[in-house]
Amino acid sequence: MSPAAPAGPAPFGARLAAAADRFGPLCVGIDPHPALLEAWGLDDDVAGLRRFALTVLDALVGEVAVLKPQAAFFERHGSRGVAVLEEVLAAVRGEATQVVLDAKRGDIGSTMAGYADAYLREGAPLACDALTVSPYLGVGALGPAVRAAEAAGRGLFVLALTSNPEGAGVQHAVGPEGESVAGAVVRQVAAHNARALEAAPAPLGPFGLVVGATVGDAVGSLGIDLAAVRGPILAPGVGAQGAGPAELADVFGEARRAVVASVSRSVLEAGPATTALRDAAARAGEDAGRALR
């Protein structure tokens, strides 16, 4: 009898649930924008970018559930900035801390397949645990990314209800059948998770949502059931952007335990000392845990 094939990595939803249980439901952005580089005493160049990013990794890998590099702040430095992003992703790969690349990719056909190959294929230089994607060319257009994520045990976070004021005009719009655009996105992501969880049971499905913590009563007023998604919810807008425990409870309700609160400035402004970054992240994690768990 042939030996059994080695088990593959746990699905993304299982890895994320384990990380949130271990470290608390917190995501810290790696957002090296010019003002933060200046505040840290770093130049706005590739050397400053690299020093910033690696300092955050040194402080927070193995301390928080999720780190979320914002691709734009690396891309603005050209190919050498992208090389730093590759270094960041490689450093976190395989760690208990999950890395979500915030790139918000979304396209159709072979172009979406190209993005999927770049960020979700096993062995790709920019491979991450999960990728943020935009569904506004249609959730069906994300098919190549959905298939690539499932094949590699990775995940997606699909923009659903964002907290920027411009988003409501699109996301709250109601179609001819009476369903909001955001509601249709949530429903289709839930269907992807139902299929994935039937094939590979896990605490959370691999397909999550991005729902701003400051969207107020939009979830309820649009008749959206976030708990039915059975996937993780990434919630920007916590901390410096204004959402506290009461807002988190109001927005997410019964889905609170699937939420990972996303913060950036409130932690990163504590740097560049690694101990100060860890302390700030610990405080933010405790706040998120009290609000969500």
Dihedral, CA of residue 253, residue 64, residue 214 and residue 276, to nearest 10 = 140
Q: Work out whether the CA dihedral 142, 93, 14, 29 comes out positive or negative.
A: negative
Which residue out of 33, 104, 172, 257 is catalytically annotated?
Answer: 104
Annotation marks residue 104 as catalytic = yes
Question: Which residues, 6 or more positions from 7, have their beta carbon under 8 angstroms from its beta carbon?
Answer: none
Residue among 119, 114, 117, 118 at smallest CA distance from 99:
119
C-alpha 9/C-alpha 124 separation (Å) is 16
Q: Work out whether the CA dihedral 265, 277, 210, 119 comes out positive or negative.
A: positive
C-alpha 262/C-alpha 114 separation (Å) is 28
**Which tokens sit at 87?**
């270094």
Q: Quote the radius of gyration of the chain (alpha carbons, Å).
A: 18
- Helices (H) and strands (E) in the chain — how many of each? 13, 8
Q: Is residue 40 a contact partner of residue 33, using CB atoms and an 8 Å limit?
A: no
> 222-256 burial by CB neighbour count: b if 16+ within 10 A, else e?
bebebeebbbbbbbbbbbebebeeebbeebbeebb
CA angle 142, 145, 148 (to 5 degrees): 150
Residues with active-site annotation: 104
